[in-house]
Structure formats: structure tokens, C-alpha cells
Copies of this chain bind each other. A is one copy, B any other.
Amino acid sequence: MAGRQDPGRHGLAAALTGDADLRVWSVIITIFGDAVAPRGGVVAVSVLAALTAPLGIGAGALRVALHRLVRDGWLIRERRGRASFYALSPRGVAEFAPASRRIYAAAPAAGAPLALGLADPGLDAGARAGLEARMSGAGWQPVGAGVWLGPAAAVPAPGVFTLAGTGGEVPGWLRARLGPPELSAAYAALVAELRQLAAALDGDGGGPGRSDGATAAALRVLVVHRWRRLVLRHADLPAAYLPGDWPGETCRDLVLALHRRLSAAADPWLDAEIAPRRQPLAK
């Protein structure tokens, strides 16, 4: 497009403008996955600011979130002269790389074997809650009290018995549990917003041009971020495990199409801003 494009005007940014620190924290993780990791993993704070400002994230909120991410061990910071650079820590890489694979996958893991995980029914509530958090973090989805379904490759919490293999026919009650109405509604809402964005890009003559790479990159972060926050809320399951009217795959197709479309302008800008500083940070 010729002029500046305000990502906020597509409504996609609305979910970010609550301005909770955690949201900014989470957007920065999306940026590392979408733009920084593929380019050597090191980024200047000025580039992060250029990507977050169009999303309504101010310099102060960015600074606070970066500080927090360094303090909690997810990012490493290094000053070079007057500039600050950030990289994912080894722990951050280990934590976020598997999520990236899911976020950018062209389809759900249709052929991959699944597993059921089973906790000791005799556990007390406290132990059970700890297990729930741990299993959920490892990609498992609860399907009953102390029972989870997940990819066979997902690591279970200690003491959880797993059985990996092939599922039989998936009854309706299980589909409804794995793809609950509120998540389905959230996907449907995002589908509508993404279609609106695609239409707006059409109206702008195809979207941000090469001259507006930062806006394209910020829009791309926004699209990926919204998708990421839904897709990581449930296990990576074949369509047979979800309700018949599940909008998740329509959403995925729109996300990937928009990603390709915005990349034409975003990638050259990101290559110029990030690639030259590819040296790894000292630990």
C-alpha cells in the first residue's frame, strides 16, 4: 500500500490493548518466534520497539516486559555501546521451539500417534492440581478427572501412566470436550477478524508495500499472536477428534495465507533490521 497502515484499525489489535504486562510479555515471545529466531535469534531493542509500537504497546510497557523476561530467565540481554540486544536464553529456546512448530504447521498432526495419560486416582487435590498444570504445559489436554489426551510424543508428568497408539471411533462427548464451545467461538471470531484484515489489505491494493515493511511485520506478529493464543490452548489433534463444525482449520488456513501475503513486505525489512546483527550473544 502507499500510505501508513494502522494495525489497530483492523480490530486485530484490540485483544492486545488491555496492556497487561503479561500480554506484552507474550507478544514479545511471538516476535522472537516469528521474526527473530529464524534470523539468528538476536534483536535490537529498537527493532522490538518498531514492531510493538504499531500494536499500541508503548516504550515503557516494552521496557518492563523485557526486564521481566530477562529476570525470569527467558531472554538474555547484552549492551553494545548505546544499544541493547536481546536473545532467547537456552531455556527460552527449549520452551518455545516446540510451540513454534505447532503454530506454523500447515495442518494438525493427522497421522501422528496419540496417547492417553492416566494419573493415580488416589492423589489428593494438591498433587492433582500440580499434575494438571504440568500435563497441560507439556501439550496434554484433560478429557476426564486425571485423564489426558495428547500427542504420543508429549512427555507425561512423573507417575502418569501413558498408552500410545491408535484411537477407535471418537464419540461425540469426547469431541465436544476436546473442542469446547468457547474455544470454537473464539476461533470463529478470529476467522471473522482475519477475513476483515484480508479484505482491508485487498482494498489497500494488496497490503503493505515494500516501503512499509515495519507495518507488515507488525501485522504479521499480530496475526500469529492471536492464532498462537488459541492453538496452544488445546492439544494437536486430528480433525476426527474435534466437533464437525470446528473452525480451527479454517482459521489456520487464513493465518498461513495472511502470513505469506504479509511476508512479501515484512521479510525484507526484518532481514535488513535483524540479519546484520547475527552474532550470538555471550551467555
Q: Which residues of A line the B interface, CB within 8 A? A: 113-116, 118-122, 143-147, 149, 152, 156, 159-171, 173-174, 177
CB contacts (< 8 Å) of A165 on chain B: these are 113, 115, 152, 163-166
Please measure, in the bound complex, the distance between the C-alpha atom of A164 and the C-alpha atom of B174, giving whole angstroms: 16
Name the residue on B nearest A144 (C-beta): B121
Min CB–CB distance A213 → chain B (angstroms): 47
Q: Output the nearest chain B residue to A120 by Cβ-Cβ distance.
A: B173
> When the two chains form their complex, are residues B143 and A118 in contact, meaning their CB atoms are under 8 A apart?
yes
Q: Is the CB of A145 within 8 A of B143?
A: no
Give the number of copies in the complex. 2
> Which of B143, B144, B159 is the one whose CB lies under 8 Å from A173?
B159
From known contacts A116-B116, A116-B118, A147-B118, infer whether A167 and B159 are also in contact, taking CB-CB under 8 Å: no
Most chain-B CB neighbours within 10 Å: which of A114, A118, A145, A161?
A: A161
Instruction: Show 8 A/B contacts (Cβ-Cβ < 8 Å), sorted by A.
Output: A115-B163, A116-B163, A121-B144, A144-B145, A144-B146, A161-B169, A161-B174, A164-B165
Query: With A and B bound together, what is the CA distance between A159 and B189 in angstroms?
Result: 31
Looking across the interface, which residue of chain B has its beta carbon closest to that of A165?
B165
Most buried by B among A143, A144, A169, A174: A144
Residue of B whose beta carbon sits closest to that of A114: B163
> Are A171 and B144 in touch, CB under 8 angstroms?
no
- Does the CB pair A168–B164 fall under 8 Å? yes
A149 nearest in chain B by CB position: B163
Contact of A174 among B120, B143, B152 (CB under 8 A): B120
In the bound complex, residues from chain B placing their C-beta under 8 Å from that of A144 are 118-119, 121, 144-147
